[in-house]
Chain A
């Protein structure tokens, strides 16, 4: 696992996870805290953020076959895209839906003390992930194209149809969005 952890990128991990559960575990370890930290900024309490974290990863797990991103930025965007959709649904419905966790038999269990301690830790860590920020800062046309292609997994022709633009234009928007995310993430890691 250490070799996998140190050598494989996120896109490769998601590809490997279709056959190797440990690869998904590594992907999870890389992003669980970051995702929960970001979700904490979107939700009223950490318990809700914890539930959404679990459901996001559960949906990612059952949807591994559908991930077709071409680089690490796309892999992270895919995960955060799932989470963003869940946040939207949470705000609209006023409750967290844990259907995929339930199907997988995954439960979110914690002691209240654990969450209190984590809350303190998250506050100390400060800002949410750079990726979430970067996604939010993309021009809306690019973000929409990226979501349709990477999160909703539409073909370019279908994404273009929904956006009322040409397939070539849709490809360009996705490409630019991914390049922006990639640059942003590289800058953040320096």
Chain B
């Protein structure tokens, strides 16, 4: 090897950190570094919502799968929020023997997920939507037993990544891209991307081989609203039904929050479909924060120091917003939002554009708030 160039200081520091981390990895330890593919999938897509924390609370009470709601008689009458929920989703099921839905959700941004598991689940494992007996850190133990369909609609383009392929599915459309999320001994973690009727979808599954993945893709089916809702676990039905009075819940959540001029609950996008209090709280506080940051951004550009300072002052009260105090017990959303509030005082995000980082961090675009120029 020839003589190496000296590294700049930040790379020197990074090198030391990496060697320290490598040293830590050598030590005997519990295998906590193995990414859990199931929730990794969710976090990669959702990013800003700490759903796993919120799910834990929901799961305690209900471990059983949904009973046969309809039987062979007339179709059951589902509450309006449930019907809206089903109509907004692609209503895809995986009707292979032993497979069932263990979770389904939709966020304010029009993004959602249906989680499938083959075999039984237990109260403990339901927290993570994994089959009973599966090991958290051994993907091979869930190979062929878990899958998820994520969908979203956005004008910005897709989640699509990976390599071009053409694979048949049971939906009548073909997979156009395939991405290898991970691989190890005895398992493949694959994502297939497809589009149908204005929805972009990602079918992700842990499988033993490509043949198994193709079989699962061929098996997925779109079903009607009733069939879809009958396949939902009981706690999904219960929690969606409970959001029938979302506007009232939102009004309570806004209590104690410094609201931007002209703010109304109508600014909060699709609240009726969010069935999780933590997510609803994130949508509500995120929308408020995004509007304040938008106003701050425009005021800076216009040279309106007073308006900019008003926005800064309003956001500096975020640590005292009651809903954020409650949410802090469940996840990291409040700390993210407060970090952006602090950065407004500096005018930048660690030397970079605050606006562009807020867009990614709070998902303002998905919440329907355009922040304006990024510089």
A contact set with B: CB distance below 8 Å: 5-6, 17, 19, 21-22, 24-25, 28-30, 32-33, 36, 45, 47, 50, 53-54, 57-58, 61-62, 66, 88-89, 92-95, 97, 99, 103-112, 114-115, 117-118, 121, 144, 147-148, 152-154, 158, 161-162, 189
Contact = CB atoms under 8 A, between A and B. Distances in A.
Contact of A5 (B1, B157, B361): B1
Select the residue from A19, A32, A47, A89 with max chain B CB neighbours within 10 A. A32
Contacts of B17: 104-107
Select the residue from B9, B165, B209 with max chain A CB neighbours within 10 A. B9
A25 B22 contact: yes
Contact of A61 (B25, B163, B350): B25
Given A28-B15, A114-B9, A162-B210, A61 B1 contact: no
Contacts of A112: 351
B242 interface: no
A25 B14 CA distance: 10
A58 B21 contact: yes
Interface string B1-27: 110110111110111011111111110
B184 interface: yes
Report the contact-size class of chain B (Cβ under 8 Å from the partner): 35 or more
Nearest to A105: B21
3 smallest A-B Cβ distances: which pairs? A21-B22, A95-B360, A110-B10
A161 B7 CA distance: 42
A25 B24 CA distance: 14
Contacts of A30: 1, 4
Given A103-B33, A108-B10, A162-B178, A61 B351 contact: no
The prevalent SS among residues of A at the interface is helix
B22 A17 contact: yes
A148 B5 contact: no
A36 B12 CA distance: 13
A6 B209 CA distance: 41
Contact of A22 (B4, B19, B47, B351): B19
A61 B18 contact: yes
Contact of B8 (A66, A88, A118): A118
A32 B19 contact: no
A108 B26 contact: no
Nearest to A113: B9
Interface string B182-195: 01100010000000
A107 B5 CA distance: 23
Contact of B22 (A24, A29, A47, A121): A24
A149 B25 CA distance: 25
Given A62-B33, A92-B160, A114-B10, 20 more contacts: A21-B23, A29-B15, A33-B11, A50-B14, A53-B11, A58-B18, A61-B25, A93-B47, A104-B24, A104-B25, A105-B21, A107-B17, A108-B14, A110-B9, A110-B10, A115-B351, A148-B163, A154-B180, A161-B210, A162-B210
B36 to A, nearest CB: 11
Contact of A89 (B23, B33, B161): B161
B352 interface: yes
Contact of B7 (A6, A33, A47): A33
Select the residue from A22, A30, A62, A144 with max chain B CB neighbours within 10 A. A62
Interface in B66-83: none
Contacts of B351: 47, 112, 115
Given A29-B7, A144-B163, A154-B180, A109 B22 contact: no
